[in-house]
Amino acid sequence: MMNNVSSPALLLIDLQKGFDDEAYWGGNRNNRNAEANCKLLLDKWRALGLPIYHIRHSSTKLDSHLHISKSGFGYIEGLEPTNKEIEIIKSVNSAFIGTDLDERLTNNGINSLVIVGLTTNHCVSTTVRMAGNLGYDTIVVSDATATFDRVGVNGEKFDSELIHQTTLANLNGEFAEVLTTSELMKRIEIE
């Protein structure tokens, strides 16, 4: 499926209810099928018995929608981990910082990752960059990630799709390979 890979792990980043409040995160969310594509990949990984890691953000800010005391901390319906799947709780953007993710992957002989989730330019990008720096053979799935509009340092508004595409362009070929869900599924079928 990927270079020298027998069991690529699927990392599902921050697929939490707190992202339902678009205005809180900047509005104008792109890629509205991201969760459905995450579900397709999750179902495929489960069917193939491949390793799955659910990454959940636990904000240290009491007013954050992703604080453990808020309903937004919960998983999006249909994307919750099973008892057999690993959950990693993080409090910063990268799934590798302050967690045992790298140790778990190494101990399980995993050297390749498929990364999906929310948001493209924050926790997905940060985790993908660290995965690349740590030597993992990494794929980020472009239509299984999404983001929101951002306001620039000079007050200008940047459209979510521009933020999404620019982030993916920065990751592709440097830290990861960027594929669509369809492209990845075709690769899986070939193997």
pLDDT for position 152: 96
| CA atoms within 13 Å, Cβ hemisphere of 54 | 21
Among residues 102, 158, 147, 157, the alpha carbon closest in space to that of 121 is found at 147
Structure confidence at residue 191 (pLDDT)? 64
Q: Which residues make beta-bridge pairs with 55?
A: 13, 88
Could you say which DSSP state residue 50 is in?
A: -
Domains along the sequence of the chain with CATH: 9-190 (3.40.50.850)
Say which DSSP state 93 is in.
S
Q: Which of 81, 25, 91 is nearest to 58 (CA)?
A: 91
Residue with tokens 């939490």: 16
Mean pLDDT split into 10-residue runs, the chain, 191 residues: 64 98 96 98 97 98 97 98 97 98 97 98 98 98 98 97 98 98 89 64
Amino acid occupying residue 142 = S
Question: Positive or negative CA dihedral for 117, 171, 106, 191?
Answer: positive
Q: What is the pLDDT of residue 4?
A: 39
